[in-house]
């Protein structure tokens, strides 16, 4: 499994070696505008699917970031604490938010493919 998948709350998850890399989409960062603060969870925190796990503040709005599937945080992107604008500049690469060890991998089946997500946000 190595295809990027999406939630209706505009997170993405990419599985690699049984660890999920998680961030927010380009559509989401554009909607938020300039991001100025990110509050990250701690490594070891466990979340259920759709639990709020991080908070992003842009100049105009504050948004919760939801966990795409059940799992345990195994790493957070600490560079975001100094450079939250990485999410604007590179939402799918250097702007990643957490790494997650899934506890219920079957939940991936409920998420959207890239094509479905693009249709969902009207950018197909």
Backbone angles phi, psi at 107, to 5 degrees: -65, -20
Instruction: Select from 46, 51, 57, 114 the one that contacts another protein (CB under 8 A).
Output: 57
Distance between CA 14 and CA 105 in Å, rounded? 12
The smaller minimum CB distance to another protein, of residues 90 and 103, is found at 90
Name the nearest CA neighbour of 19 among 97, 84, 76, 100: 100
Distance between CA 57 and CA 84 in Å, rounded? 9
Name the nearest CA neighbour of 4 among 30, 24, 29: 24
Q: Do residues 66 and 53 make contact, with C-beta atoms less than 8 angstroms apart?
A: yes
Of residues 27 through 46, those in contact with another protein by CB under 8 A are 33-34, 36-37, 39
Q: From 4-12, 53-61, 70-78, 105-113, give the range in contact with another protein by CB under 8 A.
A: 53-61
State yes or no: residue 14 binds another protein (CB under 8 A). no
Q: Tell me the two tokens of residue 107.
A: 């939940």
Of residues 77 through 106, those in contact with another protein by CB under 8 A are 84
Instruction: Select from 17, 44, 60, 122 the one that contacts another protein (CB under 8 A).
Output: 60
The smaller minimum CB distance to another protein, of residues 21 and 65, is found at 65
Binding site for another protein (CB under 8 A): 33-34, 36-37, 39, 55, 57-60, 62, 84
């Amino acid at each position: 499994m190595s295809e990027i998948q999406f939630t209706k709350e505009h997170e993405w998850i990419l599985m690699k070696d049984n660890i999920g890399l998680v961030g927010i989409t380009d559509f989401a960062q554009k909607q938020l505008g300039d991001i100025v603060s990110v509050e990250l969870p701690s490594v070891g925190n466990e979340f259920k699917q759709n639990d709020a796990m991080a908070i992003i503040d842009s100049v105009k709005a504050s948004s919760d970031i939801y966990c795409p599937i059940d799992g345990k945080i195994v790493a957070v992107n600490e560079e975001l604490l100094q450079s939250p604008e990485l999410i604007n500049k590179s939402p799918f690469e250097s702007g990643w938010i957490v790494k997650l060890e899934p506890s219920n991998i079957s939940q991936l089946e409920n998420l959207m493919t890239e094509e479905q997500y693009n249709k969902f946000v009207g950018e197909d």
